[in-house]
Each structure stands twice: as C-alpha cells, then as structure tokens.
Structure 1
C-alpha cells in the first residue's frame, strides 16, 4: 500500500457540484443579511452571489454546462409557474372585463414600444419581433417569490399575479410564432414553419389538460393528507417538466396552464406550502443562483445606449398602459402606478426564451441577444426591489395594514 491508495491526488479535482453547494450556503446567508439589515428581498442576494462569483463576475465559479443548470431552472420554474397558475382565478376576467383590456393593452404597448425602438436602431423586422415579444414577459419567479416572502395581499397583488400569468402566455406563444417566421425567412419550408408552433402550442395545452385531470383525481383520493399530497404534486411537476422537454413542448406553457386549469375547476383556491415544501424551496434558490451564473452583461460594452432605452421604453409602456385604464378597472392612481412598476421584472422565462433563440440563430445570440440579455440581468437584480416597493406603496404589505383593535 502506498500514500496514493488512501490520500487524495494533488492537485485536488473539485467537482462543480461542490462549488455550487458552497455557493448555495453563501447565497442563503447573503440573502438573509439583505433581508434583515437592508430590508431587501432575499432574491437580490441569491442572484447577486451567482453573478458576483460566476464567469460574468470574479470568475471564482467555473462555467456550468447548460445541461447541468437547465434542469434545475426548468424544475424550479415549473414549481413557481404551477404555483402562480393555482393562485389566479380566470373568472375574474369575466367579472371585470377592464382587467382583460388592461392586460392586452399593456402587452401590446410593450411590444409596440420595443419593436419601434429596435427598428429605429436598424434591427431587422424579424429579430425586432422576437426581442419585443420576449420583453412582454413579467418574471413569474420574481413575482411569486416576492409576494410569498412579503405576504402581500390586495387588489394590486391579485392583478399582478393575473397579469404576470397572462404575459407569460402571450410571450411564449408569440415567441414561438416569431421564431417560426425567422425559420421561414431563413428558407425553411412553409409546412415545417407552420406545423412546429402548432404542435408545440397544441401539445402543451393537451399535456396541461392531462396534468390537471390527473391532479384532480389524486386530490380527490388523498383528501387532506397535506404532506403526502405535496410530495406527489412535486413529483408530478417534475414528471411533466421532463416529459415536456422530451416531447419538445414548452414546460412553461404546460405548468402554467395546468395551474390555471386546476384553479378554474375549483370554486375556492387551495393553499399549498410555499413552493410545495423544502425541496421545492431549495430548487427555487438554486434557480436564482443559476440565473446569476448564466448572467451576461457583455452587451453593455457595445450597446449601452440601446440597453438603457429598451429598459426605459418598456417601463413607460407598462406603466402608462396600466394607468390609462386604471380608473375603469377600479384602481386608484397610486395603485395603477404600483401595478405598472411591479410588472417590470424579467428573469428565468425571458432568459430561457433568449437562450433558445440564440441556439437556433447564432447571429441573434451574438447580436441583439446580447443587449436583451443585459436587460434581463439588470431587471432581474432590480425587479424584486421594484415589486417590493410597489406593493409597499400600494399598502398591501403586512406592515402597511392597520392592526385590528379589539
């Protein structure tokens, strides 16, 4: 027997998973410090640590292969999307049609403002359409996590959840159509250009419906066994996410639509543990760290003015669109401004759509995609703060509400 038989080889070969585990500990501690001492959302700490230690910052963490972090993001995002859908009551759109009008106007105004700016900068129409479509989206991850953490409740909170869900649907559906148009412009036959988005949207809707039906059967069978039900639901979400990827469907559409379907079929909302328990919560934190590790701000060096203008026109479009119909939909001026500001965050959904487009069209990833990625990183860091401040100004955080005196 020699020393090498029972001592580690030198230099040590350290697995990226070890660095990720250490980063998880550091990120949670930093996030807690942000919450306790700076009164900022913990998400800012999670994303900030990933950005600071990753390739885009100090480079202390190696570049993680996409296959390693993509599954984490898909699973965590699937949990948050189903959680979002289960909180949203689509019947509200029938009761107050001005809310539906506000959502459509806000999405259309955002698309038009970003598209017009990009055309003015000389970007071709197909690329401008894809970027403008992605910038419609409001981050469901940041919105759900911030609302859960702050325990916000009220008119603005409910509308924020609803409009976030609708913005995700608009962005994903029209992104697939826009990418199909780009394939058509690149010479792909019309039959494949038309069938791919139809298959993706139709297949995702069918899988979401099957998920919803299975969910209802299991819920009826298990009754009030809350812990067991949460475990099974977590497994179902993981199964649906992985199956959607295998079938080349959209996990985003599948899980969000499944949550909306299950909520629509019930008269009353069902309360789940946040992120369906500790395992889901850990995945959510890892997702925000992975977002920070994948962050790329190189677009700022070449397109600083474009990035600044994209963020500015998007913000103005969202706030002004919400304000224009605030009175008709039953919101005050303060509430309207708060809702428009709270719709600003971008995160995992926009990141995934951008990366998918860059993989299909490398010129996009090395051109306008870099500016878009910089917008996502900035609004991912500022987004939780904007949501928190907006909900505070709307008076929907627990510390803003007067205590009942008996």
Structure 2
C-alpha cells in the first residue's frame, strides 16, 4: 500500500458543512464588532457575511441546495414564531379594538398599493396578488431577535409584536389562496384549487391546538424544572416543525398559532430563556446566515426601478396606515411613527413563501421572484437597524432615547 492511500486527494474535496461552520465563526465575530463598536444589531453581521461569502457575493461558499438548509431555517423560524406567539396577548384586541383595526388597515393598504403598483407594470392580476400577499408580512425573526437583543419593553414594543404576528398570519393564509388561484389559471379543477389551501389551514390549526394542549400538560408537570422544560419544548418545536413539513402543512402557521393559543390560555406570559437556550440560539444565527447565503440581487437586473418602488410604497403604506388610526388606538405621533417604521423588515417568512412559489411556478422564480428576493435582501440588512432605531426613539430600550 502506498503513502497516497493515507493522504487526502488533491484538490481537496471540502464538505459544504466546513464552510458553513467557518462562516458561523466569522459571522458571530463580525456581529460582535458591529454591536460593540458601531452599536448596530448583530443580525446585520450574520446576514451580511452570508450574503458576502455566498453565491450572491464572492461565491466562496458554493450554492447549497435549499433542501439541505431548509430544515435549519424552518426549525429556527419555528422557535422564533413560537416565542413571538407566546408573548402576544390576543385579549388586548378585545380591550382595544382599534389595534385590530390598525392591523387590518396596515395589511390591506400594503396589499392594495403593491397590487396596483405591479398592475401598473403590466403584471398579471393573479401574480400581482401573490406578490402582494407575501409582502404583507413583517419579519418575525428580525423583530423578535432585535427586541430580545435591545431588551425593549413598552407599549410600542408590545404592539409591534402583536401586529407582526397578525400580518404574518395574513400573509401565509392569503398566500395559500393566491397560489391556489394561480393553479386554477393553469387549468386545474375547482376542487383541486380550493381543497389544498383548506387542508393546509385546517390541518395547521389542528396541529397547533394539539401542540398547545400538550405544551400545557408538560408545563404543568415540568414547569418548575426550567432547564429540563426548555429542552423538552425545543424538542416539541422540532417535532411539530418536521411533522408539519411531512404532512405538507405550514410550519409557520403551526408554530405561530401554537404560541398564540398557549399565551391566550394562560392568564400571564411565561418567560423562557431567549430562543429556548443555547441550541436554539445557534440555530437562529445559522438561519440568518442561511438567509444571507440564499440572498439574490438578480432583481436589480430584472428591474431596479420596480425593486426600489416596491420597497418604498410598501413602507409608506405601513407607516400611513398606523398613523391614520394612531389617535383612536391610543398612541401619539412619535410612537405611531416608530411603530410604522418598525413594521418594514422582511426576512425568512417572505423568503420561504417566495421560494415555495418559485418551486411551483418556475417562471415566477425567474421573474418577479428575483424582484422579491432583492427586496428581501435589502430589508433584511436595513430592517434590524430600522427596528432598533424605532425602539430607541420611543424610549423603550434601556439606553432610552437616542
């Protein structure tokens, strides 16, 4: 046997996992530099490094098939969605119906202005509706992570969490029906058009209720063992995410609804370790890196004007909708402005909805999908900074107003 049998071949065949591990180290270090020296959110470093080193940047990390990182994103997003839902008190909507009205107006205004913008660019109505439903969503990942990192507390923070949970739900639900309508235009029968979204919504709701009931039972027996219960909850979230994907349901709806149901059944919120411990925190960082790796600015080549207009009209719609009902809902101009701005970020939820649509309709992925991806990249990078500034303006972070 020759010495070559004991030595690696040349050139070296490096596993993508090695590059991902190296990217994780670099991203965390860059994130620390940003927060310590520039006072910027760590998320910007995580996403920025992924974008810089990935196929959309320097291409030091090769294109990784979505199937290889989708589970990581789904798990991390599931953790953040359940965390968001468990902090949102839906009873507040009964006490102050104007908050519900603000949420509905904000989502409706976003849909309408984006829909008509795309129609102005001669985009078919059904395709325009699909895009308009996707951009309703504010990024729950960016909101939860930024609120946790900045330790923000107060009325604007609570409203931001509530409205993020609501418009994320609107986006996912109406996206299912909009995509079903796209299938209908391809000649699918009515039953094959209507039944899939009904199955997804009904099945997701049922799985969310089962998760919530099981959560309550386990918390009753293990709640006083905080560390043990956090591990069990982490496993439950992983199980629910994988089960939802296996049954072709919506992991986004399942985990968000489970958190909302759990909080609604309890008289007061329960404080868990951020992201349910270290394992969850690592997954969250990997999710933001994966978002950066998946980033694609090809939409600039497709239509730079459309990308910029889409970002602009969406932001204006959200801001003006919140300002319109600020007085009735009980907040001042400064608070409403901060809340409207904080609703701007997009990240994992629109990214996954865009990728799912592109998988089902390749023509969408090579057209408007590129525009959406470019918008998501920009608002992933700028979004955490905007949310951080908005929370500081309201004086709801420990360092008060900037």
TM-score range, shorter chain: over 0.9
Q: Structure 2 length normalisation: TM-score? A: 0.99
After superposition, the C-alpha distances for 1:341-374 in whole angstroms (9 at most, x for unaligned) are: 0000000000000000001111111111111111
Distance 1:274 1:92 in 2: 23
Partner of 2:308: 308
Partner of 1:217: 217
* 1:8 is the counterpart of 2:8: yes
Query: Which structure 2 residue ranges, 5 or more long, are not aligned?
Result: none
After superposition, the C-alpha distances for 1:5-45 in whole angstroms (9 at most, x for unaligned) are: 32222221110000000000000000000000110000000
Distance 1:19 1:81 in 2: 28
Pairwise CA distance, 1:401 = 7.2
Question: What is the aligned residue count?
Answer: 402
Partner of 2:131: 131
SS in 1 for 2:202: helix
Contact 2:41 2:388 in 1 (8 A): yes
Pairwise CA distance, 1:3 = 1.1
Partner of 1:363: 363
Partner of 2:119: 119
Distance 2:369 2:56 in 1: 16
Partner of 1:319: 319
Relative distance call for 1:250 and 1:261 in structure 2 (3 A) is: same
* 1:56 is the counterpart of 2:56: yes
Q: Structure 1 length normalisation: TM-score? A: 0.98
SS in 1 for 2:399: helix
Distance 1:5 1:355 in 2: 43
After superposition, the C-alpha distances for 1:306-354 in whole angstroms (9 at most, x for unaligned) are: 0110011001100000000001111110000000000000000000000
Pairwise CA distance, 1:223 = 3.0
After superposition, the C-alpha distances for 1:155-176 in whole angstroms (9 at most, x for unaligned) are: 1000000000001100000000
Distance 2:43 2:261 in 1: 28
Matches of residues 321-340 of structure 1 in structure 2 within 5 Å?
Answer: 321-340=321-340
Matches of residues 16-35 of structure 1 in structure 2 within 5 Å?
Answer: 16-35=16-35
**CA-atom RMSD in angstroms:** 0.9
Query: Which structure 1 residue ranges, 5 or more long, are not aligned?
Result: none
Partner of 1:68: 68
Which runs of structure 1 show a deviation greater than 4 angstroms over 4 or more consecutive aligned residues?
Answer: none
Distance 1:315 1:67 in 2: 32
Matches of residues 184-199 of structure 1 in structure 2 within 5 Å?
Answer: 184-199=184-199
Contact 2:90 2:264 in 1 (8 A): yes
Distance 1:140 1:222 in 2: 28
